[in-house]
Amino acid sequence: MKKVLVVGDFMKGSGLTNYLIDIYKNLPQKDFEVSCLSYSSQHNIDYLLKELQWKKYEVTSINKNPFEHFKNWSFFFKSHKNEFDEIHFNYSASWNFFAILQAKIKTKSKIIVQSHNNYFSKKPKGIQKVILSFLNAIGRVVINKCADEKLAVSIDSSKWMFGSTKTVKILKNGIDLDKFKYDPEERKRLRKSINIKESQKLVGFVGTLEARKNPRFAIECIKRLDSKFILCIFGQGMLEESLRKKIKDENLDKRVKLMGVSDDLNKWYSAFDIFLFPSITEGFGFALLEAQASGLKCISSNSIPDDSKLTDDVLSLDLKSIDIWIKNIKNITVLDNRINKSNRNCQIISQKGYSIESTSMCFKEILGGSSI
């Protein structure tokens, strides 16, 4: 049995967390003993990790205390140097290379590094951008030397983390398709729970509430549309309070709903009529794939990697022209054949290798066979 340490954020509402849990849950339990290490300082899914029987470790978030963050990593690998056969690092940028370097120096583990973004998670400015860009350049060199296996969720994310696609395997962002299939009964139940009539158009937004996900743009779209358009924003993050203030100041309280993080998010796609994905940067576009599986008409920014646009239900538009977004949102009609559309899209997604079963099978080959 191989012992694998999975390094990620492990917090509620994170697409990365959902991805890691799904992919490892679908691996043969007899072949792998999974532990996880969180770098987010969050504990809101500890109950789930306990149910999975995954041992959890953590380091202090670098945003909370950089000194403690680096100290924690150094101590961790010193204490656990012979414990894991493989260590799977999951990051958004190469500047965060310290832990990877420590693992290479202090352990004999196989090191797997996976890229999940095509730009910094939080858009830096001024001197911060200069420093991070410099560290990113160093990080690419270090990671390329330290990683035994390099993975990325898209071609764009590969170039961002590793500088090229050479010797990098694209591990597709598979989803549990059955969870996201359109369900008319859930549509009725959920729309009723927030008093949405069938004559109204429910617009969905899913993502961490931070600048790169661009929730302000989605709110601005609703502001310019008539009152039959209602926006539900799912996610949490640093922008939550400023978004709440914007909604109040713009008198949009009845038309924009901040829904937080939901355990039933997969069911909410059935309640939506339109899905907006106006991200400024994305490594892949997990939520966009989920929306397509539900048979939704989707409008995304043209900065989203093409890897996630698998059906003809995605329209890509430039963020510079909100008027074009408004025009196209108005022109979208609610589908009568949503069940058929969802089934067809799920078949396309599966055939193109983006089911969680397909992703887990590919990942099992990367991890290799059992270790006694």
Complete DSSP assignment for 45-91: THHHHHHTT-EEEE---TTT-HHHHHHHHHHHHHHSTTT-SEEEEEE
Query: Which tens digit of pLDDT belongs to each residue from 257-308?
Result: 999 999 899 999 999 999 999 999 888 888 999 999 999 999 999 988 888 9
Which of the four pLDDT bands, split at 50, 70 and 90, describes residue 371? very low
Q: Rounded to whole angstroms, what are the CA distances from 58 to 8, 9, 106, 257, 297? A: 10, 9, 18, 33, 39
pTM of the model: 0.86
Residue 223 has pLDDT above 50, yes or no: yes
Q: How far is CA 178 from the centre of its chain?
A: 19
Q: β-strands 297-301, 168-170: how paired?
A: unpaired
Asked if residue 231 lies in contact with residue 205, where contact means CB atoms within 8 angstroms, the answer is yes
Query: Which tens digit of pLDDT belongs to each residue from 36-91?
Result: 999 999 999 999 999 999 999 999 999 899 999 999 999 999 999 999 999 999 99
Q: What is the pLDDT of residue 125?
A: 81
- The chain-wide mean pLDDT, for the chain, equals 94
CA-CA distance, 157 to 103, in Å (whole number)? 22
Which of the four pLDDT bands, split at 50, 70 and 90, describes residue 370? very low
Q: What is the pLDDT of residue 126?
A: 87
